[in-house]
C-alpha cells in the first residue's frame, strides 16, 4: 500500500481504507442501492470516475471482499456490499445533505396541519415519512404531558435517607424516598444543582439528562454533584411517566422491496416484529436517549427478525410530546436521502408540537 495515499479512517470499525478503495466501495454501494444487482468492475469504472483499468478495479474489489466489505455468489457476475460495507459507506456520509424543498413542505404540512393534537401530528408525520421513503415508518411517543419540571427539592430524613420532591408546572408534586448515605452532603446545594439541569424538562427528559451528567468526568470526581445525580436517578426510576405508544405506518411498503418479494421467511420475521412491537420498541429506545440520528444496520439492531433490515431513527423532544421517529427498510435503503429526512422530521416535531 502506498503510504502517501489519503486514508479514510473508520473509527467504529477500527481500521482504515485507502482513498481509492473507499471510493470504489462508495460507487459499488451507490450502484447496488439503485439496481439491487451485483456490481461489476466496468460499472465501477464509470461510476467512480477513477482513472483505473477494470483489472485494477477488480484487484481492489477482491481486497474489499477479503476485508469483508463485499461478497459475491459468482465473481464474474459482480459483487454486493455486506453489512460491514454498508456501515463504512454510512460512516463516510459526513454531510448527507438536506431534504428537498418539496419534501420539507410535505413534512411541515403533515405536522403543522395536525398541531392541535400531538398524537395526530406524530402519526401524520410518520405517514408522510413512509410515503417519501417508500419504507415503513415508526414513531415512539412518550404520551401527552404538560408536566415540565418547575422545581426540585431534596429533604433530609436521616443520615441514610432523603426525600426527593419534584414540582411540575401543572402543579403536581412527585415525591420519592431514597436510601443513600448523605452524612457529608449538603441538601440545599444538591437541590440547586438538580434545578440547574432540570428546568423546563419533562420527567423522561430529566432521566436522560441525569444519565448524561453522570458520565461526565466532573461529576465522577465531585462528591456533592454525584450524590445529587444518584438521588435524582433513584427518585426518577420510581416515578410514573406517561404511557408510551408505538405507531407503524407503511408496513406494506416492505412487500414492494425487490429483495423480499421472493423471500417469504424474511417477510414473516419482519411482520412478526411489527405485530409484536416490543422488538421495535427495544431498538427505538436506544435512539430516544441519544443526540442526533442513529443508524442501525442489519445485525446492529440486535433484534430477532431484523436480518436484512436497517432502522434509521432520531429522537425528538417538545414541551408536551417526546420520543423517537424512524424508518425501517432493507439494508440496501438509500441512506443519503433517508437520514436527512428522518432528522428533519424529528426537528419539526420537536419545534412545532
Over residues 103-138, the pLDDT tens digits come to: 999 999 888 775 555 557 888 889 999 999 999 999
Residue that finishes a domain, picked among 217, 237, 257: 237
User: What three-state secondary structure class fits 57?
Assistant: helix
Three cell numbers, residue 69: 466489505
CB 31 within 8 A of CB 23: no
> Looking at per-residue confidence, does 236 or 189 come out higher?
189
Domain co-membership, 246 together with 335: yes
Residue 258 belongs to a domain: yes
CB 148 within 8 A of CB 201: yes
Domain co-membership, 251 together with 345: yes
Residue 87 belongs to a domain: yes
User: What three-state secondary structure class fits 26?
Assistant: helix
Residue 159 belongs to a domain: yes
Most confidently modeled range among 246-250, 291-295, 329-333: 329-333
Residue 45 belongs to a domain: yes
pLDDT tens, residue by residue, 55-66: 899 999 999 999
Q: Give the CATH number for residue 25.
A: 1.10.10.10
Residue that finishes a domain, picked among 237, 262, 294: 237
Residue 2 belongs to a domain: no
Domain co-membership, 18 together with 55: yes
Domain co-membership, 132 together with 166: no
Q: Domain range holding 66?
A: 7-91
pLDDT tens, residue by residue, 32-73: 999 999 999 989 988 888 888 888 999 999 999 999 999 987
Residue 1 belongs to a domain: no
pTM strictly above 0.85: no
Q: Give pLDDT, residue 315.
A: 85
Residue that finishes a domain, picked among 201, 218, 237: 237
Domain co-membership, 184 together with 208: yes
Domain co-membership, 222 together with 262: no
Domain co-membership, 139 together with 156: no
Q: Give the CATH number for residue 291.
A: 3.30.450.40
Pairing of strands 173-179, 149-158: unpaired
Residue closest to 281 by CA, chosen among 328, 230, 336: 328
Domain co-membership, 137 together with 178: no
Domain co-membership, 73 together with 203: no
Residue closest to 51 by CA, chosen among 26, 32, 24: 24
Q: Give the CATH number for residue 191.
A: 3.30.390.60
Most confidently modeled range among 9-13, 178-182, 272-276: 178-182
Domains in the chain: how many in total? 3
> Looking at per-residue confidence, does 322 or 99 come out higher?
99
Domain co-membership, 338 together with 293: yes
Own/partner long-range contacts of 53-57 (Cβ < 8 Å, ≥24 apart):
57/24
Domain co-membership, 265 together with 163: no
Residue 96 belongs to a domain: no
Q: Give pLDDT, residue 119.
A: 57
Domain co-membership, 310 together with 189: no
Amino acid at each position: 500500500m502506498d503510504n502517501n495515499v489519503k486514508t479514510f479512517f473508520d473509527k467504529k470499525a477500527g481500521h482504515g481504507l485507502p482513498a481509492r478503495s473507499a471510493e470504489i466501495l462508495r460507487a459499488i454501494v451507490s450502484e447496488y442501492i439503485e439496481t439491487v444487482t451485483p456490481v461489476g468492475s466496468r460499472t465501477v469504472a464509470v461510476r467512480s470516475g477513477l482513472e483505473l483499468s477494470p483489472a485494477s478495479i477488480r484487484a481492489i474489489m477482491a481486497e474489499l471482499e477479503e476485508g469483508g466489505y463485499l461478497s459475491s455468489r459468482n465473481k464474474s457476475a459482480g459483487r454486493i456490499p455486506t453489512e460491514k460495507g454498508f456501515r463504512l459507506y454510512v460512516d463516510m456520509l459526513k454531510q448527507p445533505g438536506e431534504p428537498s424543498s418539496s419534501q420539507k413542505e410535505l413534512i411541515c404540512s403533515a405536522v403543522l396541519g395536525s398541531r392541535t393534537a400531538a398524537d395526530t401530528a406524530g402519526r401524520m408525520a410518520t405517514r408522510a415519512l413512509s410515503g417519501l421513503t417508500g419504507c415503513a415508518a415508526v414513531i415512539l411517543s412518550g404520551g401527552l404531558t404538560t408536566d415540565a419540571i418547575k422545581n426540585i427539592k431534596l429533604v433530609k430524613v436521616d443520615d441514610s435517607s432523603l426525600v426527593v420532591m419534584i414540582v411540575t408546572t401543572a402543579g403536581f408534586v412527585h415525591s420519592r424516598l431514597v436510601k443513600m448515605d448523605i452524612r457529608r452532603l449538603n441538601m440545599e446545594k444538591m437541590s440547586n444543582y438538580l434545578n440547574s439541569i432540570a428546568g423546563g424538562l419533562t420527567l423522561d427528559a430529566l432521566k436522560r439528562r441525569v444519565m448524561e451528567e453522570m458520565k461526565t468526568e466532573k461529576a465522577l470526581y465531585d462528591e456533592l454533584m454525584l450524590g445529587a445525580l444518584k438521588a435524582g436517578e433513584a427518585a426518577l426510576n420510581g416515578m410514573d411517566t406517561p404511557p408510551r405508544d408505538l405507531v407503524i405506518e407503511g408496513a406494506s411498503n416492505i412487500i414492494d422491496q425487490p429483495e423480499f418479494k421472493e423471500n417469504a421467511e424474511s417477510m414473516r420475521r419482519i411482520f412478526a416484529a411489527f405485530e409484536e412491537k416490543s422488538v421495535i420498541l427495544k431498538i427505538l429506545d436506544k435512539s430516544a436517549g441519544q443526540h442526533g440520528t442513529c443508524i442501525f444496520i442489519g445485525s446492529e439492531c440486535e433484534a430477532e427478525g431484523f436480518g436484512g433490515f436497517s432502522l434509521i431513527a432520531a429522537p425528538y423532544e417538545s414541551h408536551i410530546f417526546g420520543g423517537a421517529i424512524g424508518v425501517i427498510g432493507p439494508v440496501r435503503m438509500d441512506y443519503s436521502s433517508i437520514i436527512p429526512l428522518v432528522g428533519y422530521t424529528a426537528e419539526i416535531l420537536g419545534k412545532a408540537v
